[in-house]
């Protein structure tokens, strides 16, 4: 299965489009997650609270965590993760939204990208 020439590292790309039906619920959940985070400094918490209150996409970025996706998978250690969120105009009938196409906009200046690693 694995040979010396085969890398032990795997990249998984996931793109989600979410419809937010209740912005207050999302913002409230993000604020609660920030309040529960004991590793965050007061200054960082204040900045993050302001960001999630002003932008629902930023609130989602605080709620979605790649570590949660693979944390319980045996034999796997997450080495690096990045994710971003942004508000978009979405048309499911547009060819622009075909699933499976590679997007080369990883460094999109419009997105709020978070990198952990």
* Rounded-to-integer distance, Cα 81 and Cα 79, Å: 7
Q: In the prediction, which pLDDT does 60 show? A: 94
Token pair 């796997």: residue:
76
- Could you say which DSSP state residue 35 is in? H
**Percent of the chain whose predicted confidence (pLDDT) is above 90:** 46
Mean pLDDT across the chain: 83
| pTM of the predicted structure, to 2 decimals | 0.67
Give per-residue pLDDT as tens, 32-89.
Answer: 999 999 999 999 999 999 999 999 999 999 999 888 889 899 999 999 988 888 888 8
So where are the chain's domains? 23-116
Query: Quick one: which of 39, 57, 67, 74 has its CA closest to 111?
Result: 57
Q: In the prediction, which pLDDT does 47 show? A: 96
């Amino acid at each position: 299965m694995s040979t010396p020439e085969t890398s032990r590292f795997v990249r998984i790309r996931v793109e989600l489009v979410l419809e937010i039906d209740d912005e207050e619920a999302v913002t409230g959940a993000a604020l609660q997650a920030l309040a529960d985070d004991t590793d965050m400094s007061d200054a960082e918490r204040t900045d993050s609270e302001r960001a999630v209150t002003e932008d629902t996409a930023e609130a989602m970025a605080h709620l979605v965590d790649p570590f949660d996706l693979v944390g319980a998978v045996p034999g796997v250690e997450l080495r690096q993760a990045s994710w971003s969120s942004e508000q978009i105009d979405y048309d499911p009938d547009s060819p622009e939204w075909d699933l499976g196409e590679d997007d080369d906009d990883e460094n999109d200046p419009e997105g709020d990208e978070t990198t952990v690693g």
